[in-house]
Amino acid sequence: MKRIAGVVAGIAVLAGGLAPVDARAADASLSVTAEAGRQKVAWGPCPKDGGQLQLADVECASVRVPLDYRNPGGRTISVAINRVKAKVASGPEHLGTLVVNPGGPGASGRKLAALVSAGLPNGLGERYDVVGLDPRGVGGSQPSLHCVDPDAYYRAPRPDAVPQDAAEERTLLARAKHYATRCGQQWGWFLPYLTTENSARDLDVVREALGEEKISYLGYSYGTYLGAVYATLFPDRVERMVMDSTVDPTAVWYRANLAQDRAFERRHRDFLAWTARNDAVYHLGATPGQTSEAYYAMRDRLRSRPAGGVVGPSELDDTFTMAGYSDRLWPELAAAWSAYRRRGDAKPLVDAFNKHGKTDLEDENGYAVYLGVQCRDAAWPRSWPKWRADMTRLHHRAPFMTWPNAWFNAPCLFWPTPGGTPVKVQGAPSLPPTLMIQSRRDAATPYEGALTMRRLFPKARMVVEEGGNHGVSLAGNRCVDARLAAYLADGTLPARDMTCAAQAAPRAAARKAAARKAVRRAGTKRAGTERVGAERLTEVLAG
């Protein structure tokens, strides 16, 4: 997904009433465990649906789970899983099952499993069964949510996300209401049960069906929140847990998105400053002020003259949002911007949008689940004047993301299933120590929110990269990956929270040429694999 945030365990709503967390956990886990114990995962070939990274032999299956955990004998749905099986199948060298999740909500864990298995350092991929799971509603799970035709709803250019008058605001509100209405018409039976808590319970059904007493878990972004909920509900079923790029579980979800707006503004300014430092290459301004002026002048021009008839202001927002996830994309995006501004060449900008910003059927599925989970997990303001006042105030300080992010989430104003009370996340005394990994200038999951999660898990240790990329581990930072490897191997954590230096800033060069130079400088196949893995990880985490 292109917008990420978080939510977690205490008193939560499923379809209706409230229940204390201890009673809920005990009742649901006992009844569902008995049902799951009669399931055995039947592994087989994976469908050729293009949804999985084929870096290794991968096998697939599905597991039935209750739609409503208050009625475990009632209607069931399925969650799709895949596995890269360990080469070390038994004995002390076999480390069990590592479940992975890339976030969203709405992202496919099946797309991450092979990438993680191939990228784990020190041969750990040969010692873990790495399992990816598509949470309920996502990808290969059934049902798989779709609310609109993406070719029609997202036909470019879309209305500008920054409304200039009341009429434009009404148009954007109507789009948000239309999306929510369409989801309710098609999925009214399912939306009340589309929550983070239920996805965590699904994960425990999968654990039981796999025949595992405990599982290890690696979650990125929203996946850290899902993992935190699971650890809160089922602390005795966790072997090891890694949270990478952590959400603030106390801010779900409205306040988390406001925090995101401020963090994306900071990261966008990092990109503008980097572009200014490379003015000899891009010629877009020699100071951050000049590049900022050039960027917003381009955005204003696209209102009346979309690039290639396709990239208007909203498409530009979607494309350059990706710069907040990874600075590896900065040379590519700056080059496209420069070609458009200096030579009037729209093709690189259109190509960048088609690659990084365009919404296809898979993206629409992710967006439908994103909204379904966020709008249901927690209460949202139902007053548009409240939203307008907050966004107007914040837009003055953070113009890059505030309004686009508001409209991305605006269907929650009209969502047919009201939000509930988030689960209260906390690290139970019986939970093993966990590893947290975070970049200090992360835009999608701000550092300040990770500190909140850290306080809720007092036995955790945090490794902070002094950079800004979203998704730190397995992305090329060897200091970070050494800590990850030590923890996954035998539970070893740093004695205290620690920092790792940021990776080098990207070079201002054509993207393919820069990649070739990086491989030549490294002089090893491993370095080339790390770079490819890092770029693919960015794609998976950002959707």
* Positions marked active-site: 221, 442, 470
Q: Rounded to an integer, what distance in angstroms lies between the CA atom of residue 183 and that of residue 176?
A: 11
Handedness of CA 429, 433, 434, 437 (dihedral sign): positive
Q: How many CA atoms lie within 13 A of 129 on its CB side?
A: 20
Q: Which long-range contacts (CB under 8 A, 24 or more apart) does 236-241 make?
A: 236/430, 237/204, 237/207, 237/213, 238/214, 238/431, 238/432, 239/96, 239/214, 239/215, 239/432, 240/216, 240/432, 240/434, 240/435, 240/487, 240/488, 240/491, 241/216, 241/217, 241/431, 241/432, 241/434, 241/435
Q: Rounded to an integer, what distance in angstroms lies between the CA atom of residue 68 and that of residue 431?
A: 26
Q: Rounded to an integer, what distance in angstroms lies between the CA atom of residue 373 and that of residue 191?
A: 8
Residue corresponding to tokens 């909920």: 229
Residues of 419-443 as b/e, b for ≥16 C-beta within 10 angstroms?
bbebbbbbbeeebbbbbbbbbebbb
Beta bridge partners of 133: 81
Closest CA to 436 of 454, 424, 456, 449: 454
Torsion of CA 331, 335, 341, 343, to 10 degrees: 160
Q: What separation in angstroms does the CA of 200 have from each of 38, 112, 226, 232? A: 19, 18, 6, 10
Amino acid (1-letter code) at residue 132: G
Six token digits for residue 404: 């686009």
- Other Cβ atoms less than 10 A from the Cβ of 297: the count is 11
What is residue 70's DSSP assignment?
T
Closest CA to 125 of 105, 158, 100, 157: 100
